[in-house]
Amino acid sequence: MLMQESVADREIFSRLAIQPPDALLGLIGLYRADRRPGKIDLGVGVFRDDAGRTPVMRAVKAGEAKLLRDQESKSYLGAEGDIRFVELLAEVAFGAGADRPVGIQTPGGTGALRLGAELIARSRPDATVWIGTPTWPNHAPIFREAGMMTRTHRFYDVASAAIDFDGMIEDLREAKAGDVLLLHGCCHNPTGADLNSAQWQEIGLLCARRALVPFIDLAYQGLGDALEADAAGMRGLLDMLPEALVAYSCDKNFGLYRERVGALWVQSGAAELVRSNMLALARSLWSMPPDHGAAVTRLVLEDDALRADWVSELDAMRARINELRSVLAASHPRLAAIGDQRGMFALLPLTPEAVDALRRDHGIYMAGNGRINIAGLTLETVPAFVAALASYL
């Protein structure tokens, strides 16, 4: 006898549950709908200039003009994307003349993280990915959707506005050989608190001793201290270990956000094996990465004048952020640590209620955990911002 099935059971999507909308991306719409003239957008992580714009960088505009003029075909390139782009970006990430891990182009840093997650899951499905708290809210879902287990370790203590390095090392005692340690290469999102060179060294020793594999998310190179300095911790770690993964994003340092430009590199003794699996996975995930942004990045990096202009504009973006950091740090004792931290973000010691009240009563938009995008401020708006904030600190 046939079982009675309800219509709802027969429908293919009936077993899905409604998912909460992405809180960070949701801020974009909320801010746009707010009609108050003095509103301040410190939400999603995009660079803003003094006028609150997120401009297309000069060198990128010039690269795009060149691409439009000279591109003769849009025929397929293959799952690896633009090979010359990957080579030139590797010089930026790993240094000229350095040994290069195997790498392919990916759709943004998220694509790189997902591809790395799929690669690990394919080979070591029982590995756990260790993720510091707090972190970018998309990190854990990326690994979980690839079928991996995740666990958290302490990273940043909001009350003391400092990295809890002892807590991190203590929590990692439970990591087992072959587990993966997710690290932020620089400009930690959401805290701005970066590991110092002694801490990078200690993590390298820990990974070597315990056979942990670091997976470094490098999404803000050049927005902390300088292009080279921002990669130094990661480079040192790669020198100490046989295996590591690096997810790179050009969203912020080339201002290419929606073009989705990134790369995944994997350091491994089994380079050919890894490469063939990266290509097979990429083919099934997105077939080939989008070309435009990567082609433009290649044109910028292979032209000395455009490259120099990109570096100088990136320097100016960083200088703007770091000036705002100094001003914020001097404006209130509870903000003092912001002066020593780096990158676009700072994590304020605010309750969710305070974050809501700042939005409701003052038109100040930030992530629910109290993360602010410092680039959303200007020297003119800092006093009003700090005045509104002060009663909640």
Q: Are 177 and 206 in contact (CB under 8 A)?
A: no
Q: Report how far apart the first and last C-alpha atoms of the chain are (Å, whole number).
A: 67
Cis check: omega of the bond before 134, within 30 degrees of 0: yes
Residue tagged active-site, from 194, 252, 282, 375? 252
Q: Indicate which single residue of 31, 40, 42, 45 sits in contact with ligand LMR (rule: CB under 6 A).
A: 45
Q: Indicate which single residue of 128, 189, 221, 341 sits in contact with ligand LMR (rule: CB under 6 A).
A: 189
Shortest spacing between CB 44 and ligand LMR, in angstroms:
4
Q: Which is nearer to ligand LMR, 53 or 122 (CB)?
A: 53
Residue nearest to ligand LMR (CB): 45
Cα–Cα distance for residue pair 90/88, rounded to 1 Å: 5
Shortest spacing between CB 21 and ligand LMR, in angstroms:
13
Shortest spacing between CB 25 and ligand LMR, in angstroms:
7
Window 134-153: residues binding ligand LMR (CB under 6 A): 136, 138
Taking the alpha carbons of 256, 260, 221, 94 in that order, is the dihedral positive or negative? Answer: negative
Shortest spacing between CB 375 and ligand LMR, in angstroms:
11
Q: Which is nearer to ligand LMR, 193 or 238 (CB)?
A: 193
Q: Which is nearer to ligand LMR, 297 or 331 (CB)?
A: 297
Q: Is 24 in the site for ligand LMR (CB under 6 A)?
A: yes
Cα–Cα distance for residue pair 228/246, rounded to 1 Å: 16
Q: Is 44 in the site for ligand LMR (CB under 6 A)?
A: yes
Q: Which is nearer to ligand LMR, 238 or 256 (CB)?
A: 256
Look up residue 344 and give its two tokens: 């676009």
Residue 39's φ and ψ, nearest 5 degrees, are -60, 150
Cα–Cα distance for residue pair 306/143, rounded to 1 Å: 36
Size (the chain), residues = 393
Q: Are 63 and 296 in contact (CB under 8 A)?
A: yes
Look up residue 290 and give its two tokens: 């989008």
Residue tagged active-site, from 219, 231, 294, 346? 219
Nearest to 313 by CA among 294, 295, 300: 300
How distant, in Å, are the alpha carbons of 45, 83, 345 from that of 219?
11, 20, 12
Q: Say whether 39 is catalytic.
A: no
Q: Which is nearer to ligand LMR, 133 or 138 (CB)?
A: 138
Q: Which is nearer to ligand LMR, 212 or 223 (CB)?
A: 223
Residue tagged active-site, from 217, 230, 291, 309? 217
Q: Which is nearer to ligand LMR, 142 or 244 (CB)?
A: 142
How distant, in Å, are the alpha carbons of 7, 47, 280, 341, 374 from that of 223?
54, 10, 33, 11, 12
Look up residue 374 and give its two tokens: 């410092």
Shortest spacing between CB 184 and ligand LMR, in angstroms:
11
Cis check: omega of the bond before 190, within 30 degrees of 0: yes
Window 152-171: residues binding ligand LMR (CB under 6 A): none
Window 343-372: residues binding ligand LMR (CB under 6 A): none
Shortest spacing between CB 104 and ligand LMR, in angstroms:
21
Shortest spacing between CB 108 and ligand LMR, in angstroms:
8
Tell me how many residues contact ligand LMR (CB under 6 A): 6
Binding string, residues 60-99; x marks residues near ligand LMR by CB under 6 A: ----------------------------------------
Binding string, residues 292-321; x marks residues near ligand LMR by CB under 6 A: ------------------------------
Burial code (b: 16+ CB inside 10 Å, e: under 16) for 248-283 equals bbbbbbbbbbebbbbbbbbbbeeeeebbebbeebbe
Q: Say whether 217 is catalytic.
A: yes
List the catalytic residues: 136, 217, 219, 252
- Judged by the rule CB under 6 A, the positions of this chain that interact with ligand LMR are 24, 44-45, 136, 138, 189
